[in-house]
Amino acid sequence: MNFRKAYSLALALFFVITASGTLYAQTRLNEVMGKLVDSFAADARKANPNFTGFSAKDGEKLFRSTRMHSKKKELRSCTTCHTKNPAHQGRTKVGKKIAPVSPAVTPERFTNTKKVKKWFRRNCKWVLERECTPEEKGNYITYMMSL
Protein backbone atom coordinates (compact mmCIF):
# COMPACT_ATOMS: atom_id res chain seq x y z
CA MET A 1 0.00 0.00 0.00
CA ASN A 2 1.42 3.38 -0.93
CA PHE A 3 1.51 6.30 1.47
CA ARG A 4 -1.43 8.17 -0.06
CA LYS A 5 -3.71 5.15 0.17
CA ALA A 6 -2.70 4.46 3.76
CA TYR A 7 -3.26 8.12 4.61
CA SER A 8 -6.79 8.28 3.19
CA LEU A 9 -7.64 4.98 4.84
CA ALA A 10 -6.49 6.33 8.20
CA LEU A 11 -8.48 9.50 7.61
CA ALA A 12 -11.64 7.53 6.74
CA LEU A 13 -11.20 5.40 9.85
CA PHE A 14 -10.79 8.51 11.97
CA PHE A 15 -14.09 9.94 10.71
CA VAL A 16 -15.97 6.69 11.26
CA ILE A 17 -14.73 6.47 14.84
CA THR A 18 -15.50 10.14 15.54
CA ALA A 19 -19.00 9.86 14.05
CA SER A 20 -19.88 6.73 16.01
CA GLY A 21 -18.51 8.37 19.17
CA THR A 22 -20.89 11.30 18.68
CA LEU A 23 -23.85 9.00 18.11
CA TYR A 24 -22.96 6.99 21.19
CA ALA A 25 -22.82 10.13 23.34
CA GLN A 26 -26.40 11.10 22.36
CA THR A 27 -27.89 7.73 23.20
CA ARG A 28 -26.16 7.34 26.51
CA LEU A 29 -27.39 8.56 29.91
CA ASN A 30 -25.01 10.60 32.03
CA GLU A 31 -23.63 9.10 35.24
CA VAL A 32 -26.30 10.37 37.67
CA MET A 33 -29.13 9.41 35.31
CA GLY A 34 -27.56 5.99 34.78
CA LYS A 35 -27.62 5.50 38.54
CA LEU A 36 -31.25 6.63 38.78
CA VAL A 37 -32.29 4.19 36.04
CA ASP A 38 -30.30 1.42 37.77
CA SER A 39 -32.24 2.14 40.95
CA PHE A 40 -35.52 1.95 38.98
CA ALA A 41 -34.38 -1.46 37.71
CA ALA A 42 -33.55 -2.66 41.24
CA ASP A 43 -36.99 -1.51 42.49
CA ALA A 44 -38.72 -3.03 39.45
CA ARG A 45 -37.03 -6.36 40.19
CA LYS A 46 -38.21 -6.21 43.81
CA ALA A 47 -41.80 -5.54 42.70
CA ASN A 48 -41.75 -8.10 39.89
CA PRO A 49 -39.41 -11.13 40.11
CA ASN A 50 -39.99 -11.79 36.39
CA PHE A 51 -38.62 -8.36 35.45
CA THR A 52 -35.84 -8.88 32.91
CA GLY A 53 -35.14 -5.31 31.80
CA PHE A 54 -36.83 -2.15 30.56
CA SER A 55 -38.86 -2.18 27.37
CA ALA A 56 -38.93 0.71 24.90
CA LYS A 57 -42.18 -0.77 23.53
CA ASP A 58 -43.90 -0.60 26.91
CA GLY A 59 -42.50 2.90 27.36
CA GLU A 60 -44.13 3.93 24.11
CA LYS A 61 -47.40 2.32 25.25
CA LEU A 62 -47.32 4.40 28.43
CA PHE A 63 -46.58 7.53 26.42
CA ARG A 64 -49.51 6.95 24.04
CA SER A 65 -52.13 5.46 26.36
CA THR A 66 -55.11 7.61 27.33
CA ARG A 67 -57.08 7.47 30.54
CA MET A 68 -60.34 9.00 31.73
CA HIS A 69 -59.75 11.14 34.82
CA SER A 70 -62.15 10.03 37.54
CA LYS A 71 -63.15 13.54 38.65
CA LYS A 72 -62.40 15.80 35.69
CA LYS A 73 -64.11 13.35 33.29
CA GLU A 74 -61.65 14.09 30.51
CA LEU A 75 -59.27 11.85 28.58
CA ARG A 76 -55.70 12.49 29.58
CA SER A 77 -52.43 11.22 28.18
CA CYS A 78 -48.74 12.08 28.14
CA THR A 79 -49.43 13.13 24.56
CA THR A 80 -51.97 15.75 25.75
CA CYS A 81 -49.03 18.09 26.39
CA HIS A 82 -46.09 16.38 24.70
CA THR A 83 -47.97 15.68 21.40
CA LYS A 84 -48.06 12.25 19.73
CA ASN A 85 -44.63 12.84 18.22
CA PRO A 86 -41.79 13.08 20.81
CA ALA A 87 -39.78 15.07 18.25
CA HIS A 88 -42.42 17.83 18.18
CA GLN A 89 -42.77 20.82 20.46
CA GLY A 90 -45.51 20.43 23.06
CA ARG A 91 -47.81 22.77 24.95
CA THR A 92 -49.12 22.92 28.51
CA LYS A 93 -52.84 23.33 29.15
CA VAL A 94 -52.28 27.08 29.50
CA GLY A 95 -50.43 27.23 26.18
CA LYS A 96 -46.81 27.42 27.41
CA LYS A 97 -44.37 25.84 24.95
CA ILE A 98 -42.64 22.58 25.93
CA ALA A 99 -39.43 21.61 24.13
CA PRO A 100 -39.64 18.24 22.31
CA VAL A 101 -39.29 15.33 24.77
CA SER A 102 -37.04 13.31 22.48
CA PRO A 103 -33.40 13.55 23.63
CA ALA A 104 -32.42 13.22 19.96
CA VAL A 105 -33.98 16.66 19.43
CA THR A 106 -33.53 18.20 22.90
CA PRO A 107 -30.18 16.91 24.24
CA GLU A 108 -30.86 18.28 27.77
CA ARG A 109 -33.60 15.64 28.24
CA PHE A 110 -32.88 13.11 31.00
CA THR A 111 -29.70 14.82 32.18
CA ASN A 112 -31.00 16.24 35.48
CA THR A 113 -32.33 13.72 38.02
CA LYS A 114 -34.12 16.38 40.08
CA LYS A 115 -36.05 17.57 37.04
CA VAL A 116 -36.85 14.03 35.91
CA LYS A 117 -38.19 13.01 39.34
CA LYS A 118 -40.24 16.20 39.74
CA TRP A 119 -41.96 15.92 36.37
CA PHE A 120 -42.60 12.17 36.57
CA ARG A 121 -44.34 12.79 39.90
CA ARG A 122 -46.41 15.70 38.62
CA ASN A 123 -47.31 14.35 35.18
CA CYS A 124 -48.03 10.74 36.20
CA LYS A 125 -50.41 12.06 38.87
CA TRP A 126 -52.09 14.38 36.38
CA VAL A 127 -52.62 11.62 33.81
CA LEU A 128 -52.89 8.42 35.89
CA GLU A 129 -53.96 9.82 39.29
CA ARG A 130 -51.02 7.96 40.82
CA GLU A 131 -47.26 8.00 40.59
CA CYS A 132 -45.66 5.94 37.84
CA THR A 133 -43.96 2.75 39.01
CA PRO A 134 -40.16 2.42 38.75
CA GLU A 135 -40.73 -0.03 35.87
CA GLU A 136 -42.91 2.48 34.00
CA LYS A 137 -40.37 5.27 34.50
CA GLY A 138 -37.51 3.06 33.28
CA ASN A 139 -39.56 1.97 30.26
CA TYR A 140 -40.42 5.57 29.42
CA ILE A 141 -36.78 6.72 29.57
CA THR A 142 -35.69 3.65 27.57
CA TYR A 143 -38.25 4.50 24.88
CA MET A 144 -37.19 8.14 24.66
CA MET A 145 -33.49 7.22 24.57
CA SER A 146 -34.18 4.77 21.74
CA LEU A 147 -35.48 7.51 19.42
What are the residues binding ligand HEC (CB under 6 A)?
A: 78, 80-82, 92-93, 98-99, 109-110, 115-116, 119-120, 123-124, 126-127, 140
How far apart are CB 23 and ligand HEC at their closest, in Å? 20
123 vs 133 by CB, closer to ligand HEC: 123
1 vs 108 by CB, closer to ligand HEC: 108
Amino acid at 27: T
Query: What is the C-alpha to C-alpha distance for residues 75 and 119, in angstroms, rounded to an integer?
Result: 19
How far apart are CB 64 and ligand HEC at their closest, in Å? 10
56 vs 98 by CB, closer to ligand HEC: 98
Query: What is the C-alpha to C-alpha distance for residues 132 and 6, in angstroms, rounded to an integer?
Result: 55
Comparing C-alpha atoms, which of 77, 59, 85, 88 is closest to residue 146?
59
46 vs 66 by CB, closer to ligand HEC: 66
> Do residues 142 and 55 make contact, with C-beta atoms less than 8 angstroms apart?
yes
How far apart are CB 82 and ligand HEC at their closest, in Å? 6
How far apart are CB 124 and ligand HEC at their closest, in Å? 5
How far apart are CB 73 and ligand HEC at their closest, in Å? 16
Query: What is the C-alpha to C-alpha distance for residues 123 and 77, in angstroms, rounded to an integer?
Result: 9
Query: What is the C-alpha to C-alpha distance for residues 28 and 36, in angstroms, rounded to an integer?
Result: 13
Query: What is the C-alpha to C-alpha distance for residues 110 and 40, in angstroms, rounded to an integer?
Result: 14
14 vs 138 by CB, closer to ligand HEC: 138
